[in-house]
Amino acid sequence: MVADVSAAAKGKVYLVGAGPGDPELLTLKAATLLRSAGLVLYDDLVPPAVIAMAGRQALVVSVGKRCGVKHVQQAEIHTLMIEAARQNLSVVRLKSGDPLVFGRAAEEMDALRAADVPFEVVPGITAAFAAAALIGCSLTDRRTASSVEFYTGHKAADQGPSQESPAEAATRVVYMPGRSFRSFAEDRLQAGDAADLPCCVISRAAQPEQSIQWSTLSELGGVVPGPAPVLLLTGWALAPAAARDAGERANDSAPLSVAPDCVPAHDL
């Protein structure tokens, strides 16, 4: 049975992972969005075979760089996405690998949020996983390697000296963290991580019954995770998302304000 995947919606931007290069490694959702999009903005590292999957109706535009030479500035990409969505086009922002791994997705999501443009992130296979598969090497091995860290040689030109201590500089993703986080939290606090370091526990990510729990490192030991599989994420990069979640929960819990001469709809 073929999955029923929705076409790209007009007026919406999709940050789509093109994977490591093989078109057959695209997700079904990424392929469907490419075929149905009105505008495709692709990075230079996306191979022609993937770009060719765009539908005939799509305007396909390169907005990437090669060897550090930019022909489109990041701010211009933001403007292109926002203006196209406001013109009721469905926009696919196509990125090599996974959008959330060194793909400037954070900057683009911030711009889209600020412009009140709806968007969705569609994950892709990041290059590290494809490289490991190519050489037949697992990135983790319970006998020799219990963690993976990703680094980039590129930073924003206007980024000043890091305010984080070395212990806190990485975003950590812990697979199969167990049912208790107390030992992990104690170890990280002893290693020098801040007590208010943002933490997120995700149960059954990308599944219909997925659940998300936010915490700080000092409070993490009291979190009871949902059903497996569970992922634990920690790091300052999570801070904006944690703040948004707190704001949404505060709005949801705010009491309904009713004028004296009105009654709530559910009482009518």
Residues forming the active site: 43, 65
Those residues whose C-beta lies under 8 Å from the C-beta of residue 48, and which sit 6 or more positions away, are none
Nearest Cα neighbor of 200 from 161, 165, 167, 174 is 174
Residues 6 or more apart whose Cβ sits within 8 Å of residue 118: 9, 11, 12, 13, 85, 112
Instruction: Determine the Cα–Cα distance for residues 108 and 105; give it in Å rounded to an integer.
Output: 5
Distance CA 235, CA 198 (A): 6
Residue 19, classed as helix, strand or coil, is strand
Tokens of 136: 């037949």
